[in-house]
């Protein structure tokens, strides 16, 4: 049964154009191709990323936060109430008045005492600014290095300037060393985000972030296996561009440098709209939708790749709406950006690249 599924899953007609087989993507004639087996290394690399992140947040981000005047918030630990704790963890964190009345009858506590307990319990779970600052610092450093590395790897490639060149000679395009490391490190990083989702700060777009991370990993893995590496590197670069600005705006927000935060956030919004809602659909999706059929008939992999890109585009539109709401609040309303960021929790990060979003 497993062998049948394996053979069906890797059937040439699903993932490759007509008249091409996986044997055409075997290393030969001095050409080196990406292989699915290469992706196994991303699992230990993702764990290494978690270790590096721990060291970075402890020994770099925390001292930097202290320098910026950010301190660890001390929560008053709530008194031990097994009945209330059970309700909090299994039912809901904000009980209705009817629930509170019922809990009051079952316990020896008054309604006011129960309300105070739930307020303190929610406050105890609320992540502090220091934790958010450390997470944003880690993401900022990665996205900055990834963006600079992407520019360095692509600036001298013809498909960076003319997207038609993405499909020249496809799929017999030899993989470059820079492409290998760009892909492997990006996939490993997003894998580490999936591993850390249980202890990272939970934001309002948590579900969208999970969808984004999964879509990113699927998209990157698929493009790797079928040698869509040229377009994959362009997609990653476009997404990294705005992530750097978002994370830097968060850092200044947490440090309460509001003017700098506003400037960076507006710049982020401009870059986000330009890269995610203009370049991504009208250049990159156009490149994957129109140009391939000029070389070979459409096949399942062609439709699959474009559908995954459209999923990312929908997420970009969702995040763009949140961003515009925040800008409207602090530019045309009475709410400051500091309060606006806390209320909206927009995410673009951690966006493949969040492909390819984050708070």
Identify the band that residue 76 occupies on the pLDDT scale cut at 50, 70 and 90: low
- Percent of the chain topping pLDDT 90: 50
Dist CA 236 CA 239 (whole Å): 5
pLDDT, residue 314, reads: 92
Task: Give the Cα separation of 359 and 347 in Å (integer).
Answer: 3
Residue 21 is given by DSSP the state -
Looking at residue 19, its pLDDT comes to 83
| Ramachandran angles phi, psi of 334, nearest 5° | -105, 5
**Residue pLDDT, tens place only, 115-170:** 888 888 777 766 788 889 999 999 999 999 999 999 999 999 999 999 999 999 88
* Mean pLDDT, residues 39-53 taken together: 96
- 27 or 72, which is more confident: 27
pLDDT of residue 83: 87
Structural domains present in the chain: 44-65+128-340 (no CATH), 82-125 (1.10.10.60)
When pLDDT is averaged across residues 30-48 and rounded to a whole number, the result is: 93
Rounded to an integer, the average pLDDT of 35-54 is 95
> For residues 118 and 103, what is the distance between their CA atoms, to the nearest angstrom?
12
Sole residue written with tokens 């470059």: 176
Q: What's the mean pLDDT in 331-356? A: 46
- ∠ CA 180-351-159 to the nearest 5 degrees? 45
Question: Which of 22-36, 163-177, 200-214 has the lowest average pLDDT?
Answer: 200-214
Q: Give the per-residue pLDDT at 350.
A: 38
Per-residue pLDDT tens digits for 178-196: 999 999 999 999 999 988 8
pTM, whole model, 2 decimals? 0.83
């Amino acid at each position: 049964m497993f062998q049948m599924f394996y053979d069906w899953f890797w059937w040439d007609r699903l993932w490759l154009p007509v008249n091409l087989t996986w044997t055409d993507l075997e290393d030969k004639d001095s050409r080196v191709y990406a292989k699915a087996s290469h992706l196994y290394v991303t699992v230990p690399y993702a764990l290494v990323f978690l270790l590096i992140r721990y060291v970075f947040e402890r020994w770099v981000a925390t001292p930097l936060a202290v320098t910026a005047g950010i301190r660890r918030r001390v929560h008053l630990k709530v008194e031990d109430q097994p009945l209330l704790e059970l309700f909090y963890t299994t039912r809901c964190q904000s009980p209705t008045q009817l629930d509170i009345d019922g809990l009051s009858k079952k316990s020896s506590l008054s309604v006011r005492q129960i309300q105070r307990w739930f307020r303190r319990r929610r406050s105890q779970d609320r992540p502090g600014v220091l934790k958010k600052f450390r997470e944003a610092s880690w993401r900022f450093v990665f996205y900055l290095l990834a963006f600079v590395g992407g520019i360095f790897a692509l600036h001298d490639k013809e498909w960076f300037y003319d997207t038609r060149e993405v499909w020249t000679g496809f799929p017999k395009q030899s993989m470059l060393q820079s492409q290998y490391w760009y892909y492997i490190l990006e996939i490993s990083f997003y894998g580490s985000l999936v591993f850390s989702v249980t202890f990272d700060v939970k934001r309002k777009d948590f579900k969208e972030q999970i969808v984004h991370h999964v879509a990113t990993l699927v998209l990157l893995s698929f493009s790797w296996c079928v040698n869509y590496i040229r377009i994959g590197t362009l997609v990653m670069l476009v997404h990294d561009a705005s992530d750097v600005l978002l994370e830097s705006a968060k850092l200044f927000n947490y440090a309460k440098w509001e003017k700098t935060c506003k400037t960076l956030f507006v710049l982020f919004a401009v870059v986000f709209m330009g890269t995610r809602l203009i370049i991504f659909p009208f250049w990159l999706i156009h490149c994957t939708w129109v140009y391939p059929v000029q070389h070979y008939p459409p096949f399942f992999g062609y439709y699959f790749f474009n559908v995954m890109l459209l999923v990312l585009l929908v997420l970009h539109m969702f995040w763009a709406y949140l961003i515009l709401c925040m800008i409207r609040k602090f530019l045309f309303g009475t709410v400051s950006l500091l309060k606006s960021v806390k209320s909206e929790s927009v995410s673009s990060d951690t966006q493949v690249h969040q492909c390819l979003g984050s708070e």
